[in-house]
Amino acid sequence: MTLALFLQHIANALSLGSLYALIAIGYTMVYGILRLINFAHGDVFMLGAYVAFYGTALLALPWWASLILAIACTSLFGIGLEKVAYRPLRDSPKISIMISAIGASYLIENLAVLLFGGRPKGVEVPELMGHVVNFGSVSIVVVSLVIPVFTFILLAILLWIVHKTKTGMAMRAVSTDVEAARLMAVDVNGIVSFTFGIGSLLAAFGGILWSFKYPQLNPLMGVLPGLKCFIAAVIGGIGSIGGAVLGGFLLGIIEILTVALLPTLSGYRDAFAFVLLIVVLLVKPTGLLGKRQTEKV
Amino acid sequence: MKLTKNYQYSIVALLAFAIFLVLANSFFDAFTLRVFNLCAIYVILALSLNLLNGFTGLFSLGHSGFMAVGAYVCALLTMPPELKEMNYFLVPIVPFLKNLTLPFIPALLLGGLAAAFVGFLIGAPVLRLKDDYLAIATLGFSEIIRVLITNAQTITNGAQGLKGLPRFATTYAVWITAGLVTLFMALLMRSSYGRAMKAVRDDELAAEAMGVNVFKVKVTSFTVSSFIAGVGGALLGHMITTIDPKMFTFLLTFNILLIVVLGGTGSISGSVIAAIVVTILMEALRFLDEPMNLIFFRTAGLPGLRMVVFSLMLMIVVIFRQRGLMGGKEFSWDMLRNAGAVLARLGRKIRPRKGGRNA
């Protein structure tokens, strides 16, 4: 393999990894606060991409305007989803909430089939994003460069919110101990809604950037990325934002480079994530950056 | 020994069902019969998932993987050599399997055993995990199984799948298996093994303190459930007569989960009833996907509406009646009698009595 080709693969791996990281953050934040796998997160990602698509295709908005529209709609949707599907079950056994999440995920997917049609839709990639730049013999699509940049900007903002603002402090408090946080006059429901809003916002971002990189939409497009990003979050240590980013990049890099270096394994590409997940869970059940929790009686 | 009234009812009901089975087998048209048999297969699958989710408290999402193992092993063992040659036109099958043909029942059992073996191998490491981690890990394993099947072309024929399997899963075969599985579950839940499983479900630490070997109980439950799932998968394959890796996606597990939750996690009779009702509804509601004539306006075909209805049903049950139809209880004649008494009382209340104040 030539150096140029290798660099090309690295660029691909980094952009895929940052997409995974964006979505994984949503999983990790929700899990950190509610101890719930938001199975519908991948579908929120799909919705983001679709709303942006309709924004440009039907309302003839410029791409940045439809991006804002999609992000607003998707965040509201995420908040609504939590209110309808998860809040009534907050004190029920874990299994019930998880079933509700799976049900919500299927409901969204099938509603999407109903409303958007099952046939894949081609996305018109903005000229700016689809442009190809050449660095010597390496040619990279602009969107592959934009994605990591976007990810790092969003990540910086998120880390600032979580660690420097009062809302962030409340979020950390709720994730440590819901009851104690409530006693300290933290508006738990508000914080949960806020978390879902932020998570969905990141998912929408991820979805739109994804649709620029792989310009085809279908109602089930969120399923596999959703699962993989959840896995990325678990690998990194669920509940930790840094862990989600680490897991996302790790997964993206492993996936691209294994296929690039060992093309015979390309048929197994979708299984890598799961194999990695199982290995990590067995060796270090709380993930790479996760904290060990002891069970209290 | 004098039989109690309840036993007499049960025997009459069983006989009636046997007669119904014979009648159904000879008078139902092909499509109805197929749906009817599908009910039995879903009864088997629902019971096997309920053993994990409802009785042992292990939330597993990997059922389709075990079904795939059972279906493939059984199919490879029953297919005659000529049929194999026809199927494997892209890549020839490995010589070892080429001329191997077994009768259906040993093949079915071997399919189940293969699934149980895979379940045991997977269960031993994965069952150290809890709740959502377990769910994701099992889901991961079922995906891995599917990817392996898709890629192992010389054994499984890859994405083309296997076509034209002999239709061994007749009405009697599936319903007798369903009956045996139901009986097995009922007996299991009365045995000390079943009680140990329920103890693990209700409180792992307490069960351990009482001397239950929690890990062993979990692995046993997982293995037995995989066996039943494998048998169910094999029957499904031999009823549809075609199998391919796309059949065994998460959607299949979702359907089974839907049945278990609707019927009530931890209720055998709930699973049986829900399996039959949901399977029939899944077919009966197919009209939802097609163009409809609603007197005032005609709708174009709405593909997907049917699954929307089912996902909504699942969510409504989970949010408003978490315990499902039976709520962990079992069907009994007394229950029916009580319900009858309640209805009668209600009826008396509604109807004004003769000579009452209102007369």
Q: What is the pLDDT of residues B343-359, one digit of tens each?
A: 777 777 666 555 444 43
- Residues B12 and A234: their CA atoms lie apart, in Å, by 54
Q: Which of B150, B265, B303 sits opposite A113 (nearest CB)?
A: B303
Q: Which residue of A has its CA nearest to B313?
A: A103
Q: Which residues of A touch B205 (CB under 8 A)?
A: 295, 297
- Residues A159 and A151: their CA atoms lie apart, in Å, by 12
**For position B58, which CATH number holds?**
1.10.3470
pLDDT at B356 (0 to 100): 44
Mean of pLDDT values over A3-14: 83
CB proximity under 8 Å: B 288-347 to A: 302-305, 307-308, 310-312, 314-315, 318-319, 322
Asked whether residue A296 carries a pLDDT value surpassing 80, the answer given is no
Residue-wise pLDDT tens digits, B239-287 = 988 888 888 888 888 889 888 888 888 888 888 999 998 888 888 877 7
Residue B276 structure tokens: 């039959």
Tell me which residue range forms the domain holding B151: 5-288+302-350
Q: Which residues of A touch B319 (CB under 8 A)?
A: 85, 88-89, 100
- Residues B128 and B215: their CA atoms lie apart, in Å, by 8
Q: Which residue of A has its CA nearest to B257?
A: A99
Is residue B171, in this structure, part of any structural domain at all? Answer: yes
Residue-wise pLDDT tens digits, A211-269 = 888 888 888 888 888 888 988 888 888 878 888 899 999 999 988 888 888 877 777 87
The verdict on B148 touching A (C-beta cutoff 8 Å) is yes
Q: Which residues of B touch A85 (CB under 8 A)?
A: 315, 319
| Binary contact (B139, A227; C-beta < 8 A) | yes
Mean of pLDDT values over A17-32: 88
The verdict on A95 touching B (C-beta cutoff 8 Å) is yes
* Mean residue pLDDT across chain A: 85
- Residues A12 and A10: their CA atoms lie apart, in Å, by 5
Residue-wise pLDDT tens digits, A199-222 = 999 999 899 888 888 888 888 888
pLDDT at B297 (0 to 100): 56
Select from B228, B221, B230, B197 the least CA-distant residue to B68. B230
The verdict on A72 touching B (C-beta cutoff 8 Å) is no
The verdict on A67 touching B (C-beta cutoff 8 Å) is no
Judge contact between B26 and B33, C-beta under 8 A: no
Q: Which of B151, B304, B314 sits opposite A114 (nearest CB)?
A: B304
Could you give the number of structural domains in chain B? 1
Q: Which residues of B touch A37 (CB under 8 A)?
A: 132, 135-136
The Cα-based distances of B182 to A179, B170, B311 in angstroms read 44, 18, 27
pLDDT at B319 (0 to 100): 80
Tally of helices (H runs) and strands (E runs) in chain B = 16, 4
Q: Which of B137, B147, B308 sits opposite A277 (nearest CB)?
A: B137
**B318 to chain A, minimum CA–CA distance in Å?**
6
Query: With bands split at pLDDT 50, 70 and 90, how would you rate the model's confidence at A292?
Result: low
Is residue B226, in this structure, part of any structural domain at all? Answer: yes
pLDDT at B298 (0 to 100): 55
Q: Which residues of A touch B68 (CB under 8 A)?
A: none
| Cα-to-chain-centroid distance, residue B211 | 32
Query: With bands split at pLDDT 50, 70 and 90, how would you rate the model's confidence at A289?
Result: confident
Judge contact between A31 and A239, C-beta under 8 A: yes
Q: ∠ at Cα A150 (A146, A155), nearest 5°?
A: 155
ipTM rounded to 2 decimals: 0.81
The verdict on A135 touching B (C-beta cutoff 8 Å) is no
Is residue B239, in this structure, part of any structural domain at all? Answer: yes
| Binary contact (A110, B133; C-beta < 8 A) | no
Q: Which residue of B has its CA nearest to A31?
A: B132
Mutation site, A92, A281, A283, A284, interface B, largest B CB count within 10 A? A281
Q: pTM value?
A: 0.85
Mean of pLDDT values over A161-165: 90
**B41 to chain A, minimum CA–CA distance in Å?**
22
Q: Which residues of A touch B144 (CB under 8 A)?
A: 271, 274-275
Other C-beta atoms closer than 10 Å to the C-beta of A214 total: 16
pLDDT (tens, 9 = 90+) of chain B, 359 residues, equals: 556 777 788 888 888 888 888 888 888 888 888 888 899 999 999 999 999 988 898 888 889 999 999 999 999 888 888 887 777 777 777 777 777 788 888 999 999 999 999 999 988 888 887 777 888 888 888 888 998 898 888 888 888 888 888 888 788 889 999 999 999 999 998 899 999 999 998 888 899 898 889 999 999 999 999 999 999 999 999 998 888 888 888 888 888 988 888 888 888 888 899 999 888 888 887 777 666 655 555 556 666 777 888 888 888 888 887 777 776 677 777 777 777 777 777 777 666 555 444 43
Judge contact between A243 and A161, C-beta under 8 A: no
Is residue B111, in this structure, part of any structural domain at all? Answer: yes
pLDDT at B291 (0 to 100): 65
pLDDT at B233 (0 to 100): 93
| Binary contact (B265, A282; C-beta < 8 A) | no
List, in order of start, the domains of chain A with CATH numbers: 3-283 (1.10.3470)
Is residue B81, in this structure, part of any structural domain at all? Answer: yes
First and final CA of chain A: distance in angstroms?
A: 56
Q: Which residue of A has its CA nearest to B141?
A: A274
Q: Which residues of B touch A270 (CB under 8 A)?
A: 143, 147
Secondary structure (DSSP) of B236-286: HHHHHSEE-GGGGSHHHHHHHHHHHHHH-TT-HHHHHHHHHHHHHHHHHGG
- Residues B210 and B59: their CA atoms lie apart, in Å, by 23
pLDDT at B359 (0 to 100): 39
| Binary contact (B314, A106; C-beta < 8 A) | yes
Residue B269 structure tokens: 């009779």
Is residue B152, in this structure, part of any structural domain at all? Answer: yes
pLDDT at B294 (0 to 100): 58
pLDDT at B351 (0 to 100): 60
The verdict on A118 touching B (C-beta cutoff 8 Å) is yes
